[in-house]
Amino acid sequence: MVVHGSAAPPTPWSKSLAQPRIHETAYVHSFSNIIGDVSIGADVLIAPGTSIRADEGSPFYVGEGTNIQDGVVIHGLEQGRVIGDDQKHYSVWIGKDTSITHMALIHGPAYVGDDCFIGFRSTIFNSRIGDGCIVMMHALIQDVEIPPGRYVPSGSIITTQQQADRLPEVESVDVKFAHHVVGINDALRSGYRCAENIACIASIRTELEQTYESSNANGNGSSKNHSNSHNQSQMQSDRLSSEVVQQVGQLLAQGYRIGMEHADARRFQTSSWKSCAPIQSNRQADVLAGLEACISEHRGEYVRLFGIDTQSKRRVSEMIVQRPGDKVATASSSSSSSNYYTPSSSSSNSSSQSYGTQNYSSAKSNRLSSEVVQRVSQLLAQGYRIGTEHADARRFQTSSWQTCSPIQASRESDAIAALEGCLAEHSGEYVRMFGIDTRAKRRVSELIVQRPGDNGNSVGSAPSRSYTPPAASTNGYSSVNGGAFAPSGGSLASDIVQQVNQLLSQGYRVGVEYADARHFQTSSWKSCSAISTIHALDVIAALEICLAEHSGEYVRLYGIDTASKRRVSETIIQRPGK
């Protein structure tokens, strides 16, 4: 391993010419620089582009199992020291099993304890971070001591000890996340070391070659069997559904090559797919054989196929053909339930067929409430396409939604079937739908149709699961003064409704934010869905949705002056327990 490490340069304050000391089990990427009196412990990962310079302030210490990620800068002032765990003086001390993530700056004098997480682009200067602290992204911590086990939200500026003492404690999910990052980087360290070891990498290449040769052998045998019994246009498979076989045939007929990828449950959530053995053939029999080999090799994982446009070097028409839990029929199964994996799209197709017997305006669903079905019908009738997104509990809190498979259908039955497919695929998560104005390239009328804990047999049937803005005659608010609305039994207090009316009458838009108890202490509010309407009734409906989604949290509304781009008249309209 070639490490860009060098002695500290001679300066008026130091002529020691100290060299870095790096444990033999650590991995330091060749694109990183380590200068001066730096001690790096066992099993440490120093990623590319890192600069650790003990040429002014020194010495530095990096504890065992810690990872210093891409672009991190560690430096120190000539004056100022911290006391390390060994009771010696250091310019920078970083404990064990700690993550200093991308582009962070640790500037001495600084102490970072064990089991800490320092988020992207955060800065630590002249401070002491206790064991087990979680510092999220873009935070500044200066001239303070953070007590052990505290959580620093993204964007925080902590420059007084009073602010540091008020920080909330970390939660179990934060600790789990930090440990997960350490585990991932430990695997990367082992992988990098293996890549530089000829014996290690040779054994892996041998294994890959054997797998590839076995796959080709199986593919050729299957090709011969298929070519003897069927022509290419009538190709069938003992393991694949007719929809998958048809998809392969269509892609090949259009001149595309076929690619395949697989991912376990964890990699699937982060879209970190890995490629199966490449298929060079353009014969359908060979492609089906290769696809079956990939499915067999990665049983219990997600597997998807896609077309490859070799001329424009792009991929088209992705399709998931296996999910964890898919059952494979045994050889003794009857012909009516032949040996194949059934992707979720096939269930959607069957639902679509059953809907096809009904007319457009009377489509029904076994999983969706009548309100959701009605919303789909209204959006399609107005010329919008239907979009769907999903998020687990953690992503929901940060509004980091992920897109479900796109719905191209303009028929109500097909759209409902696709929506049900998204619900089934992401059961136990939040799912929301919305309209897509393809001309204006904007989204309209968002609606959450599933939440964790919903009974999958009747999604959206309970009021807390789906919200349909009520009609003017039944919503509990009556129109007064030619457009303002007064409460007549609605869920919002009269003073809140009055404030909404006042803000709108003054030409302001209305915004809404929420925060749990921990984020409320640090004034780290998060925005609810944006309210683009200026109609009081629609604004009130959006407020009620935000309140329902974040029950048990703080919620506040405010006015937005779009001309001067400022906010006015903040009011907390909900508190935990009220």
The rounded Cα 257 to chain-centroid distance in angstroms is 30
- Decide: 292 and 239 in contact? Cβ < 8 Å: yes
Q: Is the four-CA dihedral 157, 161, 163, 168 of positive or negative sign?
A: positive
In 183-289, where do the E strands start and end? 257-263, 274-275
Tokens of 287: 């492609």
Nearest one of 364, 342, 340, 360 to 351, comparing CA atoms: 364
Place of tokens 């719905």: 407
Q: Is the four-CA dihedral 353, 358, 361, 367 of positive or negative sign?
A: negative
d(CA 160, CA 142) in angstroms, rounded, equals 8
- Alpha helices for 431-565 (secondary structure H): 494-505, 517-521, 536-549
Long-range CB contacts for residues 526-531, cutoff 8 Å, separation at least 24: 526/397, 526/398, 526/399, 527/399, 528/555, 529/446
Marked catalytic residue, from 56, 292, 389, 544: 56
d(CA 237, CA 408) in angstroms, rounded, equals 28
- Decide: 469 and 538 in contact? Cβ < 8 Å: yes
d(CA 518, CA 520) in angstroms, rounded, equals 5
Q: Is 536 left (phi over 0), alpha (psi -120 to 50) or beta?
A: alpha
Tokens of 420: 């049900």
Identify whether 196 is a catalytic site residue: no
The rounded Cα 549 to chain-centroid distance in angstroms is 20
Q: Is the peptide bond before 470 cis (omega within 30 degrees of 0)?
A: no
Q: For strand 73-76 and strand 51-54, is the pairing parallel, antiparallel, or unpaired?
A: parallel
Q: Report the SS3 class of residue 432.
A: strand
Catalytic residues: 56
